[in-house]
Structure 1
Amino acid sequence: MHALVTGANGFVGRAVCAQALGYGITVRGAVRSECVLPAGVERQVLQGLSGQCDWRAALAGIVVVVHTAARVHVMADTATDPLQKFRRVNVQGTLNLARQAALAGVRRFVFISSVKVNGETTALGCAFKADDVPAPLDAYGISKMEAEQGLREIASRTGMEVVIIRPPLVYGSGVKANFAAMMRWLRRGVPLPLGAIHNQRSLVALDNLVDLIVTCLTHPAAANQTFLVSDGEDVSTTELLRRMGQALDSRARLIPVPASVLKAAAALLGKRDMAQRLCGSLQVDIQKTRQLLGWTPPLTLDQGLKKAAEGFRP
């Protein structure tokens, strides 16, 4: 089988390429610049992900597309119209690729979306489900929802199968942004005022997400379905930091500051979003994924954290 992976040099795309090769799949990686890809991946350089991009050469002979490339969520976005920028890449670029894929005879299109399509928070113990009515709140989530809607329309019109996967926070070897920052703080022994947070959050190890993506390349029951994915174990921010510390062989120094105090302080500093991510709950229910695909996360949360720690460079 021949697969095209977009964003092949990215955090998720590179791992998808490597695992697909291990299953004997021929992989072509679409990237925006010359770069090193896993050995055995054919590189296809394209000029950006837009509604005008010509994908014909990249799609020649391809049976399945894994679309990981996107304009990702940006903290403190300075764009005058963030939604327009997200739509240009995540909606117009995605649907342009999907239309050309259908014309090229691609049988299945696997789209890596986001749990932000479901929403930003859940009540404690009330997890999002894959078939809930979407309720995105930010520009990134809205753009992913609109891309999903367009893909379903293309699928119904052309017969190309579409699979949508909505991950929560993805972590693993090479992770960046806030997760990497927390690992640096823990390794340095920085005291953190997060010892009394009683929320619940779902995460997904990179290996678990990639395993589901590769499963969805060929599984008959995946066709035209939407899936949520996680490690299958939800944790509070406090418990996550403790277990991250164990994975790093560094005891987490956590000060038990009440969540209400943290939220009030964050509001004064204009950091409400950060407080919400640290103190709020966001849980996903992966029962549909388990039952329909017979899928189980290969790694436990602790195993995923250990792999992330092994790849961490302070």
Structure 2
Amino acid sequence: MKVLVTGPTGFIGRLVVHHLRQTGAELRLASRHPERFGLGDGAVPMPNFDAPAAAFLALTRDVTHVVHCAGLNNDQGDATEADYQAANVELSARLAHAAAAQASGRFIHLSSIRAVIGARISATIDENTPPAPQCAYGRSKREGEIKVLDAYASHGRSDAAVLRLPPVYGSGMKGNLATLMRLADTALPLPTGALTGIRSLMSCEAAVRAVSHLLGHSRSLRPIYVGADVPPVAVEAIIAAFRRGFGRPMRLMTVPAGLMRPAASVLGRQAFWDSLTATQICDPALLISQGWTPEASTLERLAELARLGKS
């Protein structure tokens, strides 16, 4: 088995690479920075989205499976809609067409629940939730999903799948979870009582296990899968877990939301505040029904992440 992994230096991609190596898989790593790898690591340059078709055919030649982790994330504050389209739509489409033409196995495309729902909307999300992305990043991830599945369908194949991930935590994480972790690392009181949101998260290890499961399980692939730890956790409990890990006093205050939202607006953080008060629950029942095991100790894992960060 030979697996092409794109984005092998990214937050999840590097863990996918580590896991697949442990299973004994032969790897080809497609990276914008192949010089970061050793000569024996199988690293090759990742073609640009507008590269000739031959470049993508060369990349996928003699490959069994493809795990597509590469993309432009929503933590890039200066990225434009065109940037997201190029990285998350056009590049994914070109890669999927080449893989569908000659890779013999499965194509696993890592996506996000932002392809379905905005950060400030409350909802329960599963594979049948109608997509309604609210930002340039989310729109690009949804269009990328469509392009990948359409590319395989155009070759008469059904062995491509999209794995939608909620916020993923682990060493090196970014985004709102990293911001919450930094906020928790202080002795000052925090007004968390107004943070009424409940969120599904996913450990990076559970995400990697989901990728491995989709590559290897014997059932036919479904087009869309949703991953998540079980159960979801309250935002206030997330902050408390980080504080435990840092060895900080709890000092979590109850402050009415009617006072906090205007303050967040004045500070230019209203979008961040609204995202913490929304409830977004992901239902991974389909993955679980096919034999995948979710992480069940989310708060303990978050506390351990803070302890490791402190040390």
TM-score, normalised to structure 1, is 0.89
Select the residue among 72, 84, 87 that pairs with 2:85: 87
Q: Is the 8 A contact 2:230 2:295 kept in 1?
A: no
Q: Is the 8 A contact 1:186 1:253 kept in 2?
A: no
Alpha-carbon distance in 2 for matches of 1:217, 1:294: 13
When residues 254 and 41 of structure 1 are mapped into structure 2, their CA distance, relative to the original with a 3 A threshold, is farther
Alpha-carbon distance in 2 for matches of 1:39, 1:252: 49
When residues 222 and 189 of structure 1 are mapped into structure 2, their CA distance, relative to the original with a 3 A threshold, is farther
Name the counterpart of 2:7.
7
When residues 87 and 218 of structure 1 are mapped into structure 2, their CA distance, relative to the original with a 3 A threshold, is same
Name the counterpart of 1:230.
228
TM-score, normalised to structure 2, is 0.90
Whichever residue aligns with residue 94 of structure 1, its letter is S
Name the counterpart of 1:17.
17
The residue matched to 2:254 in structure 1 has which SS?
coil
| Aligned-CA RMSD value | 2.4
Name the counterpart of 1:50.
49
Match status 1:100 vs 2:101: no
In the TM superposition, residue 30 of structure 1 has moved relative to its aligned partner by: 1.2
In the TM superposition, residue 90 of structure 1 has moved relative to its aligned partner by: 0.6
Select the residue among 299, 302, 307 that pairs with 2:299: 302
Aligned residues between the structures: 308
Deviations 1:53-72 (A, max 9, x none): 62333323211111111011
The residue matched to 1:94 in structure 2 has which SS?
helix
Match status 1:145 vs 2:146: no
Name the counterpart of 1:69.
70
Name the counterpart of 2:167.
169
The equivalences for 1:256-267 within 5 A come to 256-267=254-265
Alpha-carbon distance in 1 for matches of 2:165, 2:38: 23
Alpha-carbon distance in 2 for matches of 1:256, 1:200: 16
Select the residue among 183, 193, 196 that pairs with 1:195: 193
In the TM superposition, residue 37 of structure 1 has moved relative to its aligned partner by: 5.0
Alpha-carbon distance in 2 for matches of 1:39, 1:258: 58
Alpha-carbon distance in 1 for matches of 2:131, 2:280: 14
Q: Is the 8 A contact 1:5 1:68 kept in 2?
A: yes
Alpha-carbon distance in 2 for matches of 1:35, 1:174: 21
When residues 176 and 153 of structure 1 are mapped into structure 2, their CA distance, relative to the original with a 3 A threshold, is closer
Alpha-carbon distance in 1 for matches of 2:220, 2:271: 34
Alpha-carbon distance in 2 for matches of 1:205, 1:4: 23
In the TM superposition, residue 78 of structure 1 has moved relative to its aligned partner by: 4.1
Name the counterpart of 2:32.
32
In the TM superposition, residue 237 of structure 1 has moved relative to its aligned partner by: 1.3
Identity %: 27
Alpha-carbon distance in 2 for matches of 1:259, 1:170: 26
Q: Is the 8 A contact 1:65 1:106 kept in 2?
A: no
Unaligned runs of 5+ in 1: none
The residue matched to 2:185 in structure 1 has which SS?
helix
Alpha-carbon distance in 2 for matches of 1:5, 1:21: 11
